[in-house]
């Protein structure tokens, strides 16, 4: 209760302030900004959104408060529909996962990135092939040999969600190796990593941040990264190895590349000024030491794109997902 009174008071002050200098300054939020996370609390997107919220608050980068709201219903469809229906409300932004592409394709929930205004790509999340450290495979080759030897479906791959990024990579692995995995979907990345530690699955494709704690604890072993080049962080993480020492899957004979978008979108009718405001805000966020620490802890790919470059990247990626999902047979049956 106190909180909302405070909000109203702040908003009133801000409206006053904005009225006085509106003539000279570009657009600025006049109400608290809702930062929507189309996923549950505690996941990768949620962590990033809350880190940003923390940075914005700590460094006073915005005059208005930023409020993180989780809208995870329907594999994130709830959050995207909220933005799609928000018209020209500039006080709503959303952070994306790959469910920007996979949810409409797999469930038929009607939205696409074109129903929103692209703001910026903040980073790309890497995917790493992990196995339990007790297992004998130390290289991709050992692992692939074991996969091929196992009976069809005998190898269990754990991942986050169904018909989403982890399962797409699993299907790509099946194509590359000719073997058949049993894919078991879980709710969150942290849970997946622990299931691997407990030997309830045989391998995972966790993001670095989801599995790093278990790697450092000597429970998991990374085999390769699904990126065109090795990760940039050479600091030692475990066993005298850093993220940089993990080879690319391609160099190990598995020609698979997959990166997940961590980007920002806003309401469909946002003006240029409004988009510009958020782009500048995220540039400031990226310059803080907290952000850099966060990037390092999760071994993120720090590519930053805005404007037409960003839109073009998203468009290409959408086409790619369409092909991947179609090949995997993940498309929603019309009129289900």
Partner 1 sequence: MEELVNLFHGFAVALQPFNIMVMVLGIVLGVIIGVLPGLGGANGVAILLPLTFSMPPTSAIIMLSCIYWGALFGGAITSILFNIPGEPWSVATTFDGYPMAQKGKAGEALTAAFTSSFVGALFAVIMITLVAPLVASFALRFGPAEKFAVYFLAFCSFVGLSKEPPFKTIAAMMIGFALAAVGLDSITGQLRLTFGSTELLNGFDFLIAVIGLFGIGEILLTMEEGLAFRGGKAKIDLRVVLQTWKEMPQYWVTSLRSCLIGCWMGITPAGATPASFMSYGIAKRVSKNGHNFGKGEVEGVVAPETAAHAAGTAALLPMLSLGVPGSPTAAVLLGGLLIWGLQPGPMLFVEQKEFVWGLIASMYLGNLVGLIVVLTCVPIFAAILRVPFSIIAPLILVLCAIGAYSVHSSTFDVVLMLVFGVVGYLLKKCNYPLAPLVLAIVLGDKAEEAFRQSLLGSQGSLGVFFSNSLVGTIMVLGLIALFWSAIQEGYSRLRPHSVA
- Answer whether 119's CB lies under 8 Å from 282's CB: yes
Q: Which stretch binds partner 1 (CB under 8 A): 70-78, 169-177, 222-230, 245-253?
A: 70-78
Binding mask 130-169 for partner 1 (x = CB under 8 A): -----------------------x--x----xxxx-----
Binding status of residue 293 toward partner 1 by CB under 8 A: yes
Record the tokens describing residue 53, joined without a space: 């919220």
Q: What are phi and psi of 262, to 5 degrees?
A: -115, 90
Binding status of residue 213 toward partner 1 by CB under 8 A: yes
Q: Which of 83, 106, 259, 305 binds partner 1 (CB under 8 A)?
A: 106
Residues numbered 295-314 forming contacts with partner 1, rule: CB under 8 A: 297
H or E segment to which residue 123 belongs:
strand 117-125
Distance CA 293, CA 133 (A): 27
Max Cα–Cα distance, the chain, nearest Å: 73
Q: Which of 120, 123, 169, 201 binds partner 1 (CB under 8 A)?
A: 201
Q: Which of 8, 16, 58, 319 binds partner 1 (CB under 8 A)?
A: 58
Closest CB 234 distance from partner 1, rounded Å: 18
Q: Which is nearer to partner 1, 127 or 181 (CB)?
A: 181
Binding status of residue 219 toward partner 1 by CB under 8 A: yes
Q: Which of 187, 312, 319, 326 binds partner 1 (CB under 8 A)?
A: 187
Burial degree of 320 (CB within 10 A; 0-12, 13-18, 19+): middle
- Answer whether 208's CB lies under 8 Å from 127's CB: no
Q: Which is nearer to partner 1, 73 or 247 (CB)?
A: 73
Q: Which of 33, 100, 109, 266 binds partner 1 (CB under 8 A)?
A: 109
Q: What are phi and psi of 305, to 5 degrees?
A: -130, 145
Q: Which of 11, 14, 42, 142 binds partner 1 (CB under 8 A)?
A: 42
Q: DSSP letters along 211-250, please?
A: HHHHHHTTSEEEEEESSSS--S--SEEETTEEGGGSPBTG
Q: Which of 101, 127, 137, 183 binds partner 1 (CB under 8 A)?
A: 183
Distance CA 302, CA 125 (A): 9
Q: Which is nearer to partner 1, 42 or 268 (CB)?
A: 42
Residue position matching structure tokens 């990345």: 189
Distance CA 256, CA 278 (A): 34
Distance CA 322, CA 330 (A): 9
Closest CB 111 distance from partner 1, rounded Å: 10
Q: Which stretch binds partner 1 (CB under 8 A): 114-122, 186-194, 242-250, 276-284?
A: 186-194
How many Cβ atoms sit within 10 Å of the Cβ of residue 160? 25
Binding status of residue 281 toward partner 1 by CB under 8 A: no
Which residues contact partner 1 (rule: CB under 8 A)? Answer: 3, 40-42, 46-47, 50-51, 53-54, 57-58, 65-75, 77-78, 81, 106-109, 153, 156, 161-164, 182-188, 190-191, 193-195, 197-198, 200-201, 209, 212-214, 216-219, 293-294, 297, 330, 332, 336
């Amino acid at each position: 209760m106190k909180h909302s009174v405070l909000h109203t008071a702040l908003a009133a002050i801000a409206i006053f302030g904005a009225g006085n200098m509106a003539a000279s300054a570009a657009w600025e939020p006049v109400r608290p900004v809702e930062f929507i996370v189309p996923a549950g609390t505690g996941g990768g997107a949620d962590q990033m959104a809350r880190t940003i919220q923390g940075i914005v608050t700590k460094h006073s980068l915005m005059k208005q408060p930023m409020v993180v709201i989780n809208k995870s219903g329907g594999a994130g469809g709830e959050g995207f529909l909220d933005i799609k229906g928000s018209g020209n409300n500039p006080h709503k932004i959303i952070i994306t996962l790959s469910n920007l592409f996979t949810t409409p394709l797999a469930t038929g929930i009607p939205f696409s990135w074109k129903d929103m205004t692209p703001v910026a790509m903040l980073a790309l999340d890497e995917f790493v092939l992990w196995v339990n450290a007790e297992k004998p495979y130390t290289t991709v080759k050992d692992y692939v040999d074991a996969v091929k030897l196992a009976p069809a479906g005998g190898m269990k791959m754990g991942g986050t969600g169904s018909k989403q990024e982890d399962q797409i990579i699993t299907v790509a692995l099946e194509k590359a190796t000719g073997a058949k995995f049993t894919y078991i979907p879980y709710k969150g990345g942290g849970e997946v990593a622990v299931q691997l530690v407990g030997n309830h699955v045989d391998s995972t494709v966790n993001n670095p941040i989801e599995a790093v704690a278990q790697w450092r604890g000597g429970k998991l072993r990374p085999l390769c990264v699904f990126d065109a080049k090795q990760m940039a962080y050479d600091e030692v993480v475990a066993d005298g190895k850093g993220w940089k020492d993990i080879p690319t899957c391609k160099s190990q004979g598995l020609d698979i590349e997959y990166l997940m978008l961590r980007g920002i979108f806003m309401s469909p009718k946002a003006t240029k000024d409004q988009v510009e405001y958020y782009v500048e805000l995220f540039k400031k966020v990226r310059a803080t030491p907290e952000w850099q620490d966060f990037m390092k802890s999760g071994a993120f790919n720090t590519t930053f794109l805005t404007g037409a470059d960003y839109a073009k990247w998203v468009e290409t990626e959408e086409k790619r997902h369409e092909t991947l999902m179609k090949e995997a047979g993940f498309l929603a049956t019309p009129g289900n």
